[in-house]
Amino acid sequence: KKKAQIPSPLPAVVTDVSPGFAPAKVNLALHVTGQRADGYHLLDTLVAFASVGDHLTAEPAGAFSLRVSGPEGAEVPEDDSNLVLRAARLCRGGPRKFHLEKHLPTASGIGGGSSDAAAAVRLMQGDYDTDNMLALGADIPMCLNPVTARVQGIGEDITPLPTFPEMHAVLVNPRVAVSTPPVFKALANKNNPPLSALPGKPEEFLSWLMDQRNDLQAPAEVLFPEITQTLNALQATGPQLARMSGSGATCFAIYDSQDQAKAAATDLQQAHPAWWVKPCVLGSAQTRDHVIGDI
């Protein structure tokens, strides 16, 4: 295990700051601590948001509509099955014409659909009910205010962590779509220990993170060997940490510097042209300007 270090320096402006920016959500750690009577699993997770994401715009219109474009937009539905329209309709505002520019792969463990839905809520600026959003997607409430946070319950108990440091990272998806329920089903033990006590000092966060885990990683690797291949490829680039996000298949790695993250991303993309590979910054700065709602 390497010595933990806080990466530096960070760029002054890391990304888009508009409310329509829907950043990738990364589970830096995800512990499954139990299961509710209704089947939903209880989590204790540390989430951070990335400088890469989708872009949503909205303008008032006579009826709700959605157009999808962008490098990852081909398979994304434009009808009412899309969480953007479903979340917007729950906001009790007037109808909007939405345009979603999709950059995040779908069904990939980085909350693309939930983050899009949360961006729709921000753009609607209307009333919404947190329970309704939770029912629509357990990840939507944490995406409404996309700052680094500890999230418990099934996603309703959110504690922002303003002192958590920003980190240079690479996200990699091996182009396998993962449906979440089978991964939870394949999890052998559903009563795992929670996150260990959070450190007080930012310089201790990375070594703390190394001692946590993603409980969904082992079952996901059994179901999708491409995830093991991805983690091995990330480990080979010499990061501080490599781990899977959510129920997969996207994995992330954390590096000491932006240069190292960029070099790793270039090498990985060259070796695996079909994979989705993105260097990015994980942290709060890019989105903390538009905190909304009651969470």
Which positions lie near ligand C5P, rule CB under 6 A? Answer: 39-41, 43, 137-139, 154, 180-181, 184
To ligand C5P, the closest distance from the beta carbon of 139 in angstroms equals 5
Q: Which residue has the tokens 């989705």?
A: 276
Q: Is 254 annotated as a binding residue?
A: no
The nearer residue to ligand C5P, 43 or 268, going by C-beta atoms, is 43
To ligand C5P, the closest distance from the beta carbon of 114 in angstroms equals 7
Q: What are phi and psi of 73, to 5 degrees?
A: -90, -15
In 3D space, the residue among 267, 140, 271, 150 whose CA is nearest the CA of residue 199 turns out to be 150
To ligand C5P, the closest distance from the beta carbon of 265 in angstroms equals 27
Q: What are phi and psi of 222, to 5 degrees?
A: -65, -40
Q: Is 112 annotated as a binding residue?
A: yes
To ligand C5P, the closest distance from the beta carbon of 177 in angstroms equals 14
Alpha helices, DSSP H only, in the chain? Answer: 83-89, 112-124, 130-136, 140-144, 180-185, 205-210, 217-223, 225-235, 258-271
Strands 157-160, 149-153: pairing is antiparallel
To ligand C5P, the closest distance from the beta carbon of 175 in angstroms equals 21
Q: Is 137 annotated as a binding residue?
A: no
To ligand C5P, the closest distance from the beta carbon of 241 in angstroms equals 23
Residues whose CB falls within 8 Å of the CB of residue 98, separated by 6 or more in sequence, listed in order: 56, 57, 58, 64, 65, 66, 67, 84, 85, 88, 120, 123
Q: Is 155 annotated as a binding residue?
A: no
| Burial zone of 7 (CB within 10 Å; 0-12 exposed, 13-18 middle, 19+ buried) | buried
Q: Is 113 annotated as a binding residue?
A: yes
15 alpha carbon, distance to own chain's centre: 16
Q: Residue 147 is which amino acid? A: V
The nearer residue to ligand C5P, 180 or 257, going by C-beta atoms, is 180
Q: Give the catalytic positions in this structure.
A: 25, 139
CA gap 175, 178 in Å, rounded: 9
Q: Is 279 annotated as a binding residue?
A: no
CA gap 4, 153 in Å, rounded: 29
Handedness of CA 156, 160, 165, 167 (dihedral sign): positive
Q: Is 153 annotated as a binding residue?
A: no
CA gap 100, 70 in Å, rounded: 8
The nearer residue to ligand C5P, 71 or 77, going by C-beta atoms, is 77
Binding-site positions = 105-115
Annotated binding site for ATP: 105-115
